[in-house]
């Protein structure tokens, strides 16, 4: 499939612009004029240059967002939901172009790029319904003629720090819910993928202007880590949602916690599929290969480890090796390819370093890795997906490498398999492949997987909007998207109303004057 990226940039109205930030319909110019070139990992070509926001720019954005919040929170939640519904419709109109830009700027396959935009559409749909159900509870008071209930109020400014691997979807999980809750958003996207963020802001801008949304409800700051650190330490930002590495999350969590703010952290994963002797191996093969090579292994939910029962280990290993020979690597805009490039050459170096460390610890590679060269691989970011036989305790296996490296581990009993699955610092996604009901239920029990996501007969990669997304341990404990994740973006208030002519005290306390 041939796509003209220049035409796509023009269609999305992001050609020849150098924004430092946008607050609704307002675009500002960076005071220091620093620009950064953005290169595609697909072909190594420069896509555009963008201005980098200064600290003064950040201050202007926060001031505008603070002003907008005072107005936005007064608009009824269903009315806010209606505006988010319109945003979903606008994303539907731009799905093809925006999905292609995600693919070209980040390097994921075109189908995954389209899928990411679909996630944005889906969260808008969910948020519309949720805007009519921001409900609290009512409780019976122990005091006569009293009523107790709880309600939720918007927090204020929600700071969103997103990662390159999902340059728009994860931001939308936060923004759509924050908006219907009455919050305003300041978004700092990854400095590696700012163009998709600018495209989203353009689409939002059109929808918001048509609905007279206060300027500053949606703010975009194209910046480096310095601005992220300012946001984490800023008392005017009551909630910071950050997606990225565990190292980054610990820094953000510490800074926000020190000022008693709230943080929503979606950090690293080290996800495993347990492959039981009772599994349907054809189903396992699809889930394992997509989980390991999809997005070139650059998902937080990517499959890093396969924990395979010893009785089927050799059989499944041969199936896996054969399947890897069929993985097509190349231009992600060509829908015939399964896997595109890593995000940049730093990621390639990390991939090669991990392979070296694995071999040094005793790992045996049954599918060798390496960097691809030649026509079609000129960016230097294309690598081979590889497979190594390892022990779970290897230091390199205990760490997340954002690359298509898959580790194979043997087990004997289901208890051992669960212990191996849980035996890493991260706790995001997990899965078991089995047709044995007892094994499945044991995996899902309190003594089973310790991850935020636990699946049966599907892989670790991918999640539906309706469920809360997030993990435990070094994954950060945050929850985004569906279920009751909306509560993160609001403050809870308990109310007691006395409609009697007396003032009885709780617990039967007497205080007579």
**So which residues are the catalytic ones?**
266, 300
Distances (CA, A) of 505 to 496, 499, 512: 12, 14, 11
The alpha carbon torsion through 343, 347, 349, 352 (nearest 10 deg) reads: -100
Residue carrying the six token digits 């290993």: 317
Cβ atoms 249, 51 nearer than 8 A: no
- CA gap 18, 340 in Å, rounded: 28
- CA gap 108, 454 in Å, rounded: 25
Looking from the CA of 201 toward its CB, the CA atoms found within 13 Å total: 30
Cβ atoms 429, 455 nearer than 8 A: yes
Burial call 180-192: b when 16+ CB within 10 Å, e when fewer: bbbbbbbbbbbbb
Tokens of 432: 């078991």
Distances (CA, A) of 305 to 301, 391, 409, 430, 431: 11, 10, 7, 10, 11
Distances (CA, A) of 365 to 149, 272, 387, 390: 60, 18, 6, 9
- CA gap 108, 1 in Å, rounded: 15
Distances (CA, A) of 390 to 2, 209, 275, 348: 41, 56, 16, 21
Burial (CB count within 10 angstroms: exposed 0-12, middle 13-18, buried 19+), residue 212? exposed
Distances (CA, A) of 54 to 130, 216, 227, 259, 295: 36, 18, 8, 23, 32
The alpha carbon torsion through 53, 59, 61, 67 (nearest 10 deg) reads: 180
Tokens of 33: 């004029």
Residues β-bridged to residue 372: none
Count of residues making up the chain: 513
- CA gap 387, 365 in Å, rounded: 6
Cβ atoms 265, 226 nearer than 8 A: no
Residue carrying the six token digits 């319109």: 86
**Strand, coil or helix: 305:** strand
């Amino acid at each position: 499939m041939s796509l003209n990226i220049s035409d796509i940039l023009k269609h999305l109205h992001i050609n020849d612009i150098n924004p430092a930030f946008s607050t609704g319909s307002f675009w500002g110019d960076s005071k220091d004029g620093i620009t950064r070139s953005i290169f595609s990992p697909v072909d190594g070509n420069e896509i555009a240059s963008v201005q980098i926001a200064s600290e003064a720019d950040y201050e202007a954005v926060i001031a505008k967002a603070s002003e907008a919040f005072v107005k936005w929170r007064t608009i009824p939640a269903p009315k806010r939901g209606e505006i988010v519904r319109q945003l979903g419709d606008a994303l539907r109109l731009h799905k093809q172009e925006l999905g292609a830009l995600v693919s070209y700027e980040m390097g994921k396959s075109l189908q995954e790029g389209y899928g990411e935009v679909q996630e944005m559409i889906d969260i808008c749909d969910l948020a519309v319904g949720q805007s009519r159900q921001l409900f609290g509870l009512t409780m019976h008071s122990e005091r006569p003629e009293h009523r107790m209930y709880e309600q939720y109020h918007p927090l204020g400014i929600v700071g969103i720090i997103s990662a390159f691997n999902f340059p728009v979807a994860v931001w939308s999980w936060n923004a759509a819910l924050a908006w219907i809750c009455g919050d305003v958003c300041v978004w700092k996207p990854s400095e590696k993928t700012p163009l998709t963020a600018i495209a989203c802001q353009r689409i939002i801008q059109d929808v918001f202007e048509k609905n007279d949304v206060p300027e500053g409800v949606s703010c975009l700051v194209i910046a480096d880590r310095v601005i992220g650190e300012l946001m984490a330490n800023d008392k005017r930002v009551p909630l910071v949602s950050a997606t990225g590495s565990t190292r980054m999350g610990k820094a953000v969590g510490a800074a926000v916690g020190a000022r008693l703010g709230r943080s929503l952290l979606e950090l690293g994963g080290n996800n495993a599929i347990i492959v039981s002797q009772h599994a349907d191996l054809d189903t396992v093969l699809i889930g394992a290969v997509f989980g390991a090579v999809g997005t070139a292994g650059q998902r937080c939910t990517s499959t890093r480890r396969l924990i395979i029962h010893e009785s089927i280990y050799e059989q499944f290993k041969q199936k896996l090796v054969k399947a890897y020979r069929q993985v097509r690597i190349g231009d992600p805009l060509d829908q015939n390819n399964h896997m595109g490039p890593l995000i940049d050459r730093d990621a390639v170096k990390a991939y090669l370093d991990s392979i070296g460390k694995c071999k040094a610890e005793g790992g045996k590679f049954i599918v060798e890795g390496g960097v691809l060269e030649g026509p079609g691989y000129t960016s230097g970011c294309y690598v081979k997906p590889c497979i190594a036989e390892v022990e779970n305790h290897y230091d390199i296996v205990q760490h997340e490498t954002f690359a298509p490296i898959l580790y194979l581990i043997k087990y004997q009993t289901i208890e051992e398999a669960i212990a191996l699955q849980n035996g890493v610092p991260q706790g995001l996604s997990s899965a078991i492949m089995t047709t044995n009901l007892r094994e499945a239920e044991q995996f899902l029990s309190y003594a089973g997987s310790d991850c935020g996501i636990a699946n049966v007969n599907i892989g670790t990669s991918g999640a539906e909007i309706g469920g809360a997304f997030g993990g435990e341990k070094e994954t950060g404990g945050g929850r985004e998207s569906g279920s009751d994740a909306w509560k993160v973006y609001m403050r809870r208030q308990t109310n007691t109303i006395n409609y009697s002519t007396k003032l009885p005290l709780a617990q039967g306390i007497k205080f007579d004057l």
